[in-house]
Amino acid sequence: MKKDKQLKERYGKLAENMVTYYDHLDLRGLDDLDDDAFAYILAKVQGVDMLDLNETDITNQSISLLTRLEYVKELRAKGCQQLDNDCIADLDTITSLEFLHVRYTGITIDGLLQLKSLINLKTLMFSAEDVESIKAKLLQLKAMLPQCDLIIDAKRYYFNAVELFIQSIQKQPYTYRLKIKGQRLDAGWSHWLIAPSDNYIEAAAQGPYTVDAIEWVEIDPIEKKSAGKETDHTAAIIKLLDSLGFPYMITDGVISAYLVNKEI
């Protein structure tokens, strides 16, 4: 009861004047904005295009509160030091998110790798002490969120397109073979394709070869299942190749992808 009275005294006028929907709701200037204050102020709100909570005292509890809103498109929580990976499950339900800023929080790359549902996310800003040590995890994250730019400590992180291609096809039910420059295409089909080291590609039946030695990668998109059933994954593969800017041809249902060693 005492806390309710304090909240009313401190934030009552603001709470009364809140509306249902906001283009931009900036709460950075409120001293000591914590979970209780945030919940009190947000009582009437149902949707926000841009919500700015930078450097406030909110915790994971406030992220949970956001899940009741109809939408939040941009969430800025830079410097909210009490946020950590325990809020990821709630963040992952806010599928309207297009922009997420969690730099200088306790959210790590391992937490971000649990964001499975944010298909609309276009920009993700976060911190990392040693970017090189998490390179493999960054590739996983980009493969999960191919449409999303990753901004690490205020700098956009660029990916090698070939490495991202290899990461994106891991555990996919495709088969592959490599056309090596100056050699006939007579190798058997492989069920996996990996990058055993920088600038090398290896298939189960071929390699490793340098990327420059590979003329193209053939991909059979047909997944053969039990009882003679098949699933055609051509559309998914073409979407990936288009996103990477890799030229390709389709001949008798087989996709020939021309790898381009570039940063994206």
| CATH number of residue 90's parent domain | 3.80.10.10
Contact present, 74 and 50 (Cβ < 8 Å):
yes
Residue 50 shares a structural domain with residue 142: yes
Give 139's pLDDT tier (boundaries 50, 70, 90). very high
> Which pLDDT does position 166 carry in this prediction?
96
> Which pLDDT does position 1 carry in this prediction?
54
Residue 202 shares a structural domain with residue 82: no
The burial of 138, by beta-carbon neighbours within 10 Å (0-12 exposed, 13-18 middle, 19 or more buried), is given as buried
Residue 129 within any structural domain of the chain = yes
- Domain boundary (140, 157, 174) is at 157
- Domain boundary (157, 173, 204) is at 157
Looking at the structure of the chain, the number of domains it has is 2
Residue 85 within any structural domain of the chain = yes
pLDDT in tens, 49-78: 999 999 999 999 999 999 999 999 999 999
Average pLDDT over every residue of 99-118: 98
Direct distance between the N- and C-terminal alpha carbons of the chain, in angstroms, rounded to an integer: 55
Strand 71-76 vs strand 206-210: parallel, antiparallel, or unpaired?
A: unpaired
Q: Which amino acid is at 129?
A: E
Average pLDDT over every residue of 174-195: 95
Length of the chain: 264
Average pLDDT over every residue of 83-98: 98
- Percent of the chain clearing pLDDT 90 (strictly above): 91
Sole residue written with tokens 């050699």: 183
Contact present, 219 and 237 (Cβ < 8 Å):
yes
Residue 264 within any structural domain of the chain = no
**Residues sharing a CB contact under 8 Å with residue 203, sequence separation 6 or more, in sequence order:** 176, 177, 178, 187, 190, 192, 193
Residue 262 within any structural domain of the chain = no
77: its two tokens: 């929580």
pLDDT in tens, 146-180: 999 999 999 999 999 999 999 999 999 999 999 99
- β-bridge mates for residue 219, sequence order: 176, 255
Average pLDDT over every residue of 7-30: 93
Residue 118 shares a structural domain with residue 185: no
- Domain boundary (157, 184, 211) is at 157
Domain of 38, in residue numbers: 2-157
Residue 10 shares a structural domain with residue 80: yes
> Which pLDDT does position 66 carry in this prediction?
98
Average pLDDT over every residue of 41-51: 97
> Which pLDDT does position 3 carry in this prediction?
77
Q: Is 92 left (phi over 0), alpha (psi -120 to 50) or beta?
A: alpha
Alpha-carbon gap, residue 15 to 11, rounded angstroms:
6
Residue 84 shares a structural domain with residue 190: no
Residue 263 within any structural domain of the chain = no
Sole residue written with tokens 């730099």: 103
Alpha-carbon gap, residue 241 to 247, rounded angstroms:
7
